[in-house]
Amino acid sequence: DGADLGLDPKTGNERIASIFEEMSAVQKLRRDRFRSQAYAKAALALRSLLEPIASGAQAKAIKGIGAGMAHRIDVILETGELKELEELKKDSDVVALRELRSVHGIGAVRAAELVERGVRSLAQLREAVAKHQVHLDAAQALGLHHCEEFRQRIPQAEMKEHHRLLEVHLDKENPSLLLTICGSYRRGRPDCGDIDVLISHPEYTTTKRAANAGGKLLHGFVDSLKRAGYVTGDLAFGNTKFMGICRLPGAERLHRRLDIRCVPYDQYHFGMLYFTGSAALSVKMRLKAIEMGLTLSEYGLENKLTGEKVLANSEEDIFRALGMPYLAPTER
């Protein structure tokens, strides 16, 4: 039996779900929203199962899985892959769309429009911009400028340097600020796509509503990082979220993507749970909350009917409120 072979009973479902997720992403690139959503739904349904799926016919009984998906499940169970996906990934339009979408700030609609106009690669996009045939806004232009750099994963050792720099910076500039590096770094991944920083301040809460306190906090913090030479550019800057670019001091350093979120002090643990991910765990926890008549979001956990809020002084509190065993960040 599976236990003797050391097989995780969920491995099979996990594999099918991740193939479906990739299909969903490819269909989204092709702007086939209907198919994209069907695959995403089927992936979600598979992920929430407790038992390994044995056949397409069995899967058809599950909400979110129709005849087409059931057939594909059989194909994956038999062959271990989905040829359809491999073919689509080689499709030249899909390749071009994926390349253009890798520029920060270029979305599905813009990428499709560019491909229609014959712009199919970063090189062609740069040429079209230089010839004033295509206009990019400031953030897209920065995204294009740093595109190849942003594709490079950040090794954990470098992530630790960012962490250290931010802590030293805080000590000097604003020691009462709370800061946690979340995302894949907090989950202990060997490399990360970007640096996800959560900040708050004990005096910034949802009840003490000083006008735009969060925005001031975030802008003050980012400005100080700009003065220190660490933040080198903005991609999007709101009152609760900053998306931008940073670089460690010294030669031969790559520009990196930096995300900063500022949350009220009383929502800190909800923000941390959301911003740490994984996205799949967040989906699971939100579904569990719904089953219990609650709504979980990055801002809190509340009763759907009464609006009554569940307070949390730690992430453990949130897991407990949902009746789920606590998972350390590296287990998420």
> Which of the ranges 30-38, 68-76, 186-194, 299-307 carries the binding residues for Mn ion, by CB under 5 A?
186-194
Q: Which is nearer to ligand DCP, 99 or 196 (CB)?
A: 196
Q: Which is nearer to ligand DCP, 10 or 153 (CB)?
A: 153
Q: Which is nearer to Mn ion, 196 or 266 (CB)?
A: 196
Residues that bind ligand DCP (CB under 6 A): 183-184, 192-194, 196, 274-275, 277-279, 282
Considering only 194, 245, 256, 269, the residue that binds Mn ion (CB under 5 A) is: 194
Q: Which is nearer to Mg ion, 99 or 196 (CB)?
A: 196
Pick from 321, 311, 331, 332: nearest CA to 289: 321
How far apart are CB 152 and ligand DCP at their closest, in Å? Answer: 12
- Are 178 and 272 contacting, i.e. CB atoms less than 8 angstroms apart? no
Q: How many CB atoms lie within 10 A of CB 71?
A: 13
CA distance 214 to 195: 20
Report DSSP letters for 180-219, one per residue: EE-HHHHTT-SEESSEEEEEE-TT--SSS--TTHHHHHHH
Q: Which is nearer to Mn ion, 181 or 322 (CB)?
A: 181
Q: Is 266 in the site for Mg ion (CB under 5 A)?
A: no
How far apart are CB 188 and ligand DCP at their closest, in Å? Answer: 11
Binding residues for Mn ion, total number by CB under 5 A: 3
- Are 46 and 56 contacting, i.e. CB atoms less than 8 angstroms apart? no
Pick from 108, 173, 177, 142: nearest CA to 258: 142
In the block, tokens 């062609």 appear at 124
Q: Is 21 in the site for Mg ion (CB under 5 A)?
A: no
Q: Is 194 in the site for Mg ion (CB under 5 A)?
A: yes
CA distance 180 to 314: 13
Q: Is 183 in the site for Mg ion (CB under 5 A)?
A: yes
Considering only 99, 196, 266, 315, the residue that binds Mn ion (CB under 5 A) is: 196
For residue 278, the partner it binds in Mg ion, ligand DCP, Mn ion, none, with Cβ less than 5 to 8 A by kind, is ligand DCP
Degrees, nearest 5: CA angle 100-103-107: 70
Pick from 272, 279, 143, 258: nearest CA to 198: 272
| Residues that bind Mn ion in the complex, under the rule CB under 5 A | 194, 196, 259
